[in-house]
């Protein structure tokens, strides 16, 4: 029986690539890549010569059926994204769903993803959390922020560097400036950093220090925020 392998790739540091991931990419007959140019550099580094085919957000609806046909014909295929685990804010869900519906084996390898180290490193509760990925850019964004402001679990968001100040301003508007927050960027890379504090404090930091790299935002849930307020009052 053929298998679709979901293979995480490093989000920055190539040493985060697992032995199992390398061996899987070597043994399959085809690699589906979000960007064949980016993945080509990774394959060259690890001396992997498996053929690649483009599979990204703009063509995945059209290519699912042809990929299914290859799998049904007995071809083992691996899916990779530009960085991290496919399906987490990257293409992958549609293909996995189609495989499940058609009885094709899917095997997902453990590996790199940005939100887990950011959440653990935040210092905020990580036993219960909600992952939102990228918020809607226009329609529905304000409604979603208003809804999340009442969420009692820690909240994890992705944001791009050129929108981080605007996003933090919107969080301040809906969550209040004193809500605890953590923003991690360049995870596993040379200039990795995590900025912690209130939304107001972190907003001021990024206004004064424009930064590069994809951002992971972790926001304290409403319950944690209330506990911190009560603790501050008791200490005072």
Domain residue limits, the chain: 3-108, 115-235
Measured distance CA(55)–CA(33) in Å, rounded: 5
Measured distance CA(135)–CA(155) in Å, rounded: 12
HSE-up (13 A, CA, CB side) for residue 64: 18
CA distances to 12, 19, 21 from 15, in Å: 9, 10, 12
3-state secondary structure of 199: helix
Measured distance CA(193)–CA(119) in Å, rounded: 13
115-235 has the same fold as 3-108: no
CATH code, 3-108 = 3.40.1010.10
Which positions of the chain have pLDDT values less than 70? Answer: 225-236
Measured distance CA(118)–CA(189) in Å, rounded: 13
Sheet containing 180-185: give its strands across: 129-134, 154-159, 215-219, 180-185, 193-198
pLDDT given at position 231 = 62
CATH of 115-235, one of 3.30.950.10, 1.10.10.370, 3.60.21.10, 3.40.50.1220: 3.30.950.10
pLDDT given at position 234 = 57
């Amino acid at each position: 029986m053929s298998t679709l392998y979901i293979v995480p790739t490093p989000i920055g540091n190539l040493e985060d690539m697992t032995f199992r991931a390398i061996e899987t990419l070597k043994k399959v007959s085809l690699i589906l890549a979000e960007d064949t140019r980016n993945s080509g550099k990774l394959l060259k580094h690890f001396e992997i010569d498996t053929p690649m085919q483009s599979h990204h957000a703009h063509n995945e609806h059209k290519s699912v059926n042809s990929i299914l046909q290859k799998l049904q014909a007995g071809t083992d295929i691996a899916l990779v994204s530009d960085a991290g685990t496919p399906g987490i804010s990257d293409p992958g869900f549609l293909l996995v769903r189609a495989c499940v519906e058609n009885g094709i084996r899917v095997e997902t390898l453990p590996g790199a993803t940005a939100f887990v180290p950011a959440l653990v490193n935040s210092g905020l509760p990580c036993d219960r959390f909600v992952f939102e990925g990228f918020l809607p850019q226009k329609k529905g964004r304000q409604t979603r922020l208003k809804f999340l402001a009442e969420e009692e679990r820690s909240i994890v968001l992705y944001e791009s560097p050129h929108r981080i100040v605007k996003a933090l301003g919107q969080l301040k508007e809906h969550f209040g400036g004193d809500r605890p927050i953590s923003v991690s960027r360049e995870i596993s890379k040379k200039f990795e950093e995590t900025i912690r504090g209130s939304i107001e404090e972190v907003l001021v930091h990024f206004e004064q220090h424009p930064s590069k790299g994809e951002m992971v935002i972790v926001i304290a849930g409403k319950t944690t925020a209330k506990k911190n307020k009560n603790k501050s009052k008791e200490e005072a």
